[in-house]
Amino acid sequence: MRECVNSENVGQVEELLLMTEQMQDELDQKDETIMELNRQLSRLLSLNEKLNSENRAENIEALQTRLRQTEQQLTCEIDSRKRADAEVVAWKFKYEKAEQAKRYAQTHQKTVDVPVEKKVPYEKCDNCDRTAYQKAKEKCDNRKIQLEKKYKNMTAGYKILMFLLAWYSIATTLFTAILSPVFLNDCITFFGTIGKGMVSLFQEFVTGADSFGQLSDGISNSVISGIVYWLIAAIVMGILFIITGLIIVWIGYQVGKIYWKYCWDIISIMVALMSIAIAIYFGEWIKSVIPINLIVLLLLVHVVYIGIRCYVKDWQEERGYF
């Protein structure tokens, strides 16, 4: 019995040892599996870190790219805003200039009332009594005629008064000029110089005609030579006088054209009379300061005045004031 029991115990122990060995093998396998899994886990973690680092770098580059694009867009928007602000300022300046020109035109331009004939309602009404209309129209026409006569009389009186005042001013200025020795001497000197210049010019013409007339010396016949001489001299003198006359007429025409366009008004007459009066009354003092002929000074002053009037009128015409 004991041997049976012992054999059973031995069998159980052997089974336990086998089971223990199997379990130990399984544990070893599991430890190896765990170690392999740990190794795989570590590899996965390192790979994950690498992937995360690469993703962060790519994200940073993407963010930097977006930031650069945003900065470029912002710069473009700022430039557009600056250009728009500059255009707004320019248009505002043009608007202010236009408003100033409009206000100046409204306050300085001349207004002319143009009479417009209006149709009377009575003329369209066949059933109305035209007696009152005819009487009112006759009364209005008579009043209009009276006012026109009164206006013509007033205008004529004004013109006569202005003519008398101008004549009085001119006469007074001339008499004062005659009594002023400084102005009178300058007048004599000025016109004497012009006369001497004309005489010298005529002498030059005669000398030139005589020089051309000497071409007839080659003719042996004295009578024919004399006739040819005088013909050549007359032709040369005529040509010279015609050229000189045309030059003087052209200069006078141009000056008159400019004067008529820019200075033909009462202001020019007042400026001329005032400048002459100042030259007459203060001629001695002026010559003590500026040693110049008073007539030449008057001409220079009037030339400057014409230049100023031309500039002012052209400036106004360019801006539409005329």
pLDDT digits 0-9 by tens, 131-168: 777 778 888 888 888 888 888 888 888 788 877 887 88
- The stretch 44-50 carries a mean pLDDT of 69
**Is residue 308 pLDDT above 60, yes or no?**
yes
* Mean pLDDT of the chain, nearest integer: 76
pLDDT level of residue 3 (50, 70, 90 thresholds): very low
Between 166 and 114, whose confidence is greater?
A: 166
State mean pLDDT over 285-291: 87
pLDDT bin (cut points 50, 70, 90) of residue 196 is very high
Q: What CA–CA distance (Å, rounded) separates 297 from 312?
A: 23
Residue for token digits 């070893």?
A: 28
How many whole angstroms from its chain centre is CA 305?
24
Closest by Cα among 83, 64, 63, 87 to 75: 83
According to the model, what pLDDT value does residue 2 have?
Answer: 43
Residue 300 confidence (pLDDT): 92
First to last CA, the chain: 154
User: What pLDDT, on the 0 to 100 scale, is given for residue 184?
Assistant: 87
Q: What is the mean pLDDT of residues 262-286?
A: 85
| Span of 73-77, 128-132, 284-288, 306-310 with lowest mean pLDDT | 128-132
- The Cβ of residue 115 has, within 10 Å, a number of other Cβ atoms equal to 5
Pick from 269, 295, 270, 296: nearest CA to 177 = 295
The pLDDT confidence band at residue 12, using thresholds 50, 70 and 90, is: low
- Of 211, 201, 204, 205, residue with least CA distance to 240: 205
Sign of dihedral through CA atoms 14, 16, 17, 22? positive
**Which pLDDT value is given to residue 13?**
52
Q: Which of 64-103 are b and which e, b meaning 16 or more Cβ less than 10 Å from the residue's Cβ?
A: eeeeeeeeeeeeeeeeeeeeeeeeeeeeeeeeeeeeeeee
pTM strictly above 0.75: no
* pLDDT on residue 239: 92
More confident residue, 244 or 118: 244
Query: Region 259-285: what's the mean pLDDT?
Result: 85
pLDDT in tens, 240-256: 999 999 999 999 999 88
Average pLDDT over residues 172-176: 80
Q: Is the pLDDT of residue 114 over 60?
A: no
- Report the distance separating Cα 303 and Cα 206, nearest Å: 34
Name the more confident of 36 and 184.
Answer: 184
If DSSP states are collapsed to H, E and C, what string results for the chain? CHHHHHHHHHHHHHHHHHHHHHHHHHHHHHHHHHHHHHHHHHHHHHHHHHHHHHHHHHHHHHHHHHHHHHHHHHHHHHHHHHHHHHHHHHHHHHHHHHHHHHHHHHHHCCCCCCCCCCCCHHHHCCCCCCHHHHHHHHHHHHHHHHHHHHHHHHHHHHHHHHHHHHHHHHHHHHHHHHHCHHHHHHHHHHHHHHHHHHHHHHHHHHHHHHHHHHHHHHCCCHHHHHHHHHHHHHHHHHHHHHHHHHHHHHHHHHHHHHHHHHCCCHHHHHHHHHHHHHHHHCHHHHHHHCCCCHHHHHHHHHHHHHHHHHHHHHHHHHCCCC
What per-residue confidence (pLDDT) applies to 15? 62
Residues 279, 183 contacting (CB under 8 angstroms) = yes
Q: What pLDDT sits at residue 100?
A: 73
The pLDDT of residue 57 is 57
> What per-residue confidence (pLDDT) applies to 250?
94
pLDDT value for 105: 66
Q: How many C-alpha atoms does 210 have within 13 Å on its Cβ side?
A: 6
* Residue scoring higher pLDDT (13 or 135): 135
